[in-house]
Amino acid sequence: MMALCRNAFARDLRPYTLLGIVIVIVGVIDHGTGFFFRGATLFSIMQIFATYGLVSLAVGLSLLVREFDISVAGMVSLAGAVAVLAGARDPWLGVGLALLVGLVGGAAQGLIITRLGLGSVGVTLGGLLSFQGLTYVLTGNQSISFDHVELALALNAPIGVVLSVRSMIVIAAFVLAAVVMQFSRVGRDILATGGDRRASTMAGVNTGGIVFGVFAASGLLCALSGVVLSYGLAAASPAALSDVLAPAAAGAIIGGVSVVGGRGRPAGIAAGVLVLCVLRSGLNAAGASADMLDIATGLVLLLIAVLDAPELARRLTEWRLHRRGA
């Protein structure tokens, strides 16, 4: 029983355990009203997942190589604005241009970080402000609407009760990331780079290329997220999702990504984001305010930090020895 508990809270399984626990708790709070287990609620959970999932994946990838991409919120807004502006006549042109902006923006940050050997926090903070500034310039600091409302409706139309095109795009991106991480050499190299960059370089891994690629991929994922969001809302706002970084990072960390790099999986990140989505949906259903969600998220993160603490492990060992009377 003890061993089972320990395994369930070991890093690899923890996101799923937490997801289960959160579902049970929300179910209990909900008790009997049946609100939570309605199809509409599940649909809305997946819609929230579609909003945060890709950004969380992007942040998670950067954490995997022991970096931190702060610029995600800026890139989401910028790509959203580019897509809406450039896609006024041909939506596909908007998609292409927005993804290109994401790729180039991410690659530029990756290049600065690897070539100049700078810390990612500083560089991507600069990226965040630049992308945000560009968005304000492009949009004239106001929300701009997207005329293809039929596209927004199509993106959000329920498919099989809980899914939509929007959420399926995000799920597809997660599946792709999971396949790359699990079955390709690049996946191993990413984990190795995050685990010990010097050792990986010595072993022959092109760690500079890996870090560069991760930032380019992060930019691309954020751009995709921005496109899907702005097309889904039929509008782009310079302030859209400006506070996405905290929940995105929280999702990745709850999802088992180590903040010191080298550990974590896309499937875990998905579960971590779902924990937040379920919490939010459950709290909404219970009539709690949005602040409650922040507090609940904070408590979950705190729990995880405590579970990871070496100090706790030490004290538990001491306590066990003490009980044994040694």
Partner 1 sequence: MLLSARGIGKHYGPVEVLRDVSLSVRAGEIRALCGENGAGKSTLVKIITGNQPADSGEITIDGVVATIRSPADAQKLGIALVSQELSLAPNLSVLDNIWLGNETVPLWHRRRALAERARAALDEVGLEGLRLDRQVGTLGIGRQQLVEVARMLTRDARILILDEPTATLSDVEIAHVFEALRRLRARGHAIIYITHRLGEVFEVCDSVSVLRNGALVGDAATGAIDRAGLISAMLGRELGELYPPPRAAPADGRPALSVRALAVPDMVHGIDFSARAGSLTCLAGQIGSGVTEALRALCGLNEAATGEFTIGGRRVPLRSVGRARAAGVRFISENRAGEGIFLRLTIAENLLCGQLRRFSRGGLLRRRAMRTIAGELAAAVAVRPARLDVVAADLSGGNQQKLAFGRIIDGAMPGVLLMNEPTRGVDVGARAEIYRLVRRFCDEGWCVVMASSDLEEVMGLADEVITLYRGRVVRQVGRAAVTMHGLLADITQQQAA
Contacts with partner 1, residue ranges (CB under 8 A): 183-186, 188-189, 191-192, 194-196, 198-206, 262-263, 314, 317-318, 321, 326
Residues 231-262 as b or e (16 or more Cβ within 10 Å = b): bbbbbbbbebbeebbebbbbbbbbbbbbeebb
Alpha helices in 196-309 (DSSP H): 197-203, 207-233, 245-254, 266-285, 290-308
Q: How far is the CB of 33 from partner 1 (least distance, A)?
A: 45
In the complex, least distance from residue 15 CB atom to partner 1, rounded to whole angstroms: 17
Cα angle for residues 143, 145, 147 (degrees, 5° grid): 175
Integer-rounded Cα radius of gyration of the chain: 21
| 295/321 with CB nearer partner 1 | 321
Closest to partner 1 by CB, 129 vs 307, is 307
Question: Which residue pairs, CB below 8 angstroms and at least 24 apart, start in 193-201?
Answer: 193/65, 193/66, 193/261, 193/262, 194/63, 194/64, 194/65, 194/66, 194/258, 194/261, 194/262, 194/263, 195/261, 195/262, 195/263, 196/262, 197/65, 197/66
Name the minimum Å distance from CB 178 to partner 1.
Answer: 14
d(Cα 270, Cα 1) in Å, to the nearest integer? 27
Q: 153 or 202: whose CB is closer to partner 1?
A: 202
Q: Give least dist CB 202 to partner 1, A.
A: 3
CB nearer to partner 1: give 147 or 318: 318
The residue (of 50 and 257) whose beta carbon lies closer to partner 1 is: 257
Minimum distance from residue 268 beta carbon to partner 1 (Å): 14
- Smallest gap from residue 188 Cβ to partner 1 (A): 5
Least distance CB 106 / partner 1 (angstroms): 21
Q: Considering beta carbons, is residue 89 or 324 the nearer one to partner 1?
A: 324
Query: Measured from the CB atom, is 80 or 262 closer to partner 1?
Result: 262
Q: Are 262 and 275 in contact (CB under 8 A)?
A: no
* C-alpha closest to that of 267 among 150, 158, 187: 187
- What's the min distance (Å) between Cβ of 102 and partner 1? 23
Report how far residue 315's alpha carbon sits from residue 294's, in angstroms, rounded to the nearest whole number: 30
Pairing relationship of beta strands 144-145 and 235-236 according to DSSP bridges: antiparallel
**Which residue shows structure tokens 């609940």?**
296
Residue closer to partner 1, measured from CB, 186 or 239? 186
